[in-house]
Each structure stands twice: as C-alpha cells, then as structure tokens.
Amino acid sequence: MRAAVTGAAGFIGSHLCAHLLAAGDAVVGIDVLTDYYDPARKRRNLAEAFRSPAFSFHPLDVLDPRTDALLDDVDVVYHLAGQPGVRPSWGREFALYTRHNVLATQRLLESVRDRPLRKFVHASSSSVYGDADRFPTPETACPAPVSPYGVTKLAAEHLCELYRTTYGVPTVSLRLFSVYGPRQRPDMAFARLIAAAAGGPPFPLYGDGEQTRDFTYVRDVVVAMRDVACSGFTGIANLGGGRPVSMRQAIAAVERVAGRVALDRRPALPGDARHTGADITVAARGFGFRPRTGLEDGLAAMAAHPAPEVSQE
C-alpha cells in the first residue's frame, strides 16, 4: 500500500513509519516538527525510515494547503499529528490544541473526502473517557473528558464519525491507552522514570500513586494500526495493554529493569483521570488485536534504548 502518516516524526509516528516500510508499504511522512519537544530529536526518530527509498519526508503543517498534493494516490492516511499532553492543555495553550487536534483533523478529512481511500486511521486517546464508571471501559461508555486535551480528541473523533456517516470516508478512531516504548516523548511517565533510574532528575509522582493506567507497548499499537487499515473495520475501537497497573506498581517494574528511582512527590493535578482500563473486545473481533508485549519486556526495551535527553518540567 501507499500510506501517508501525519505526525510521522513523533514517538508513535516514527514507529509506525518503520513498521509500514518493513511490511513493504511506501510511506509519505508529514510532520511540522513543532517545538513541544526538541525538533532535532524528532528527526532522529526517523533515522530508520530515512534509510528506505520508499520513504519521503515533508516538514509541513497538516493545515498547509500543500499537503493536498501529498495525498494523491495514497491508499491509507494514518493521522497521528496533534498537540499532545493533558496537563499543558489548560489556559492559553488551548488554542494550540484546537488548532492541531480539531482544525487539522477537519482539514485533512476535507482533503480526503472525495478520494478513494482504503482507510483513514485516526489516533485518538483514552482521555476521551475521563473518569469512567466502568472498568475495563467499553467504547459504549459515555465519553466525559476531564481535560481540555481530552475534549479536543473527542471533537476530532466526532469529526471522523461525521465524515464517515455523511461522506462515506472509511474512518477508524483508535482510542490509545498510555502508549510506551523506545523513543517515548520526554514528558511521559516511563521516559522520566527510566531517566531517573539512570541518575537523572527525580520522577514527579502526582497524587498517591494508586492511580492506574493501561500501558500499551508501541509495537502492539503500530501493528494494530496497519491491521485495521487492511481490515473492513470502521468506527471506534480501544487499544490497550489489557492489564492496568498502578503507578506504584509501574515504578516498581521500572526499578526491576533499570534501577532505583528517586521520587519527587507532588499533589494530584486537575485533568488526570484516576483510573484507565481498556475493554479491547471490539478491536479483537474487528481486526484481530491482541497485545503481545508484557510490561517488563517493554520497559527493558526502553531501558536498552534510552533517550538522549529528558525534559525536567
């Protein structure tokens, strides 16, 4: 297949590009290289992809009209571009979240609505659920985001569903649960934990540490993305690791593979869901999703490929 990947230089995007290329696909990578973290680090994320003659990279904003031509003859669009992060999404920064998560998604859907796409795969987030009242949480649970970030991801989902039901665009929104692995963004928990174990800054633990997350290894996620593109499934599906653990348990797991972690205990922050856990029945039935990577195996892979630097904020 010929695929376009937005957000190609990011954590998940760079893994997806490598996976698609290994599967024999041609890949058009699109990424505006925002300064949410070091753009040079994002370019390094694509080192493996750049070795393939089937890969081309275009440092463009999805909202730039020049992206339209890049979608010519594309079979699948993987839309991973967006403004990440729950905690920074409050206040003045919200304009960035609406631009990169909502407006960019609508612009891309408009660009593809009359094209004969095989699939439009949108990377959504478990943040759309907020503090769910059922665990594991099925897709039928009423979304109730507790952060502005979650609101924008839910809005993008609604846009995908509108274009699917109104114009027949074959969209899939995958609600990703706490993805981790090598090249994880420097602001994310496991990147900070492994850096702390290696002698970096203490890990900021917000709240009591009993909050739970359904950690999902990045390789499992990108395999599922291509699998759903090759399937007949459309709509919304959860992608989770299948075994939620508390932050205390996650810290203990990091210590077993990487060494002792110094903690900086802080109060809980608004916008952080207390618990997350994915019911993956829809994905399993729809396109054969099954998480294959255990937490400690995934953490060992991260520890073996440490990031060059980690944000301390």
Looking at residue 305, its pLDDT comes to 85
Residue 220 is assigned to a structural domain of this protein: yes
Residue 312 is assigned to a structural domain of this protein: no
Looking at residue 107, its pLDDT comes to 98
Instruction: Choose the catalytic residue: 37, 129, 149, 180.
Output: 149
Q: Catalytic residue at 149?
A: yes
- DSSP type of residue 306: -
Cα 90 to Cα 87: distance, rounded to the nearest angstrom: 7
Strands 245-246 and 212-213: antiparallel
Positions of the chain with pLDDT under 70:
307-313
Looking at residue 69, its pLDDT comes to 96
Residue 313 is assigned to a structural domain of this protein: no
Residue 93 is assigned to a structural domain of this protein: yes
Evaluate whether 86 touches 127 at the Cβ level (below 8 Å): yes
CA distances, 113 to each of 108, 172, 233 (Å): 9, 14, 18
Looking at residue 307, its pLDDT comes to 66
Number of domains in the chain: 1
Looking at residue 242, its pLDDT comes to 86
Domain range enclosing 122: 2-304
Report residue 38 CA to chain centroid gap: 18
Residue 15 is assigned to a structural domain of this protein: yes
CATH number of the domain to which 114 belongs: 3.40.50.720
Residue 22 is assigned to a structural domain of this protein: yes
Helix (H/G/I), strand (E/B), else coil: 46: coil
Residue 31 is assigned to a structural domain of this protein: yes
Looking at residue 269, its pLDDT comes to 86
Residues 273-309, buried b or exposed e (16+ Cβ, 10 A)? bebbbbbbebbeebbebebebebeebbebbbeebbee
Q: Tokens in use for 75?
A: 């079979």
Q: Tokens in use for 294?
A: 């255990």
Residue 311 is assigned to a structural domain of this protein: no
Q: 235-252, pLDDT tens digit by residue?
A: 999 999 989 999 999 999
Looking at residue 33, its pLDDT comes to 96
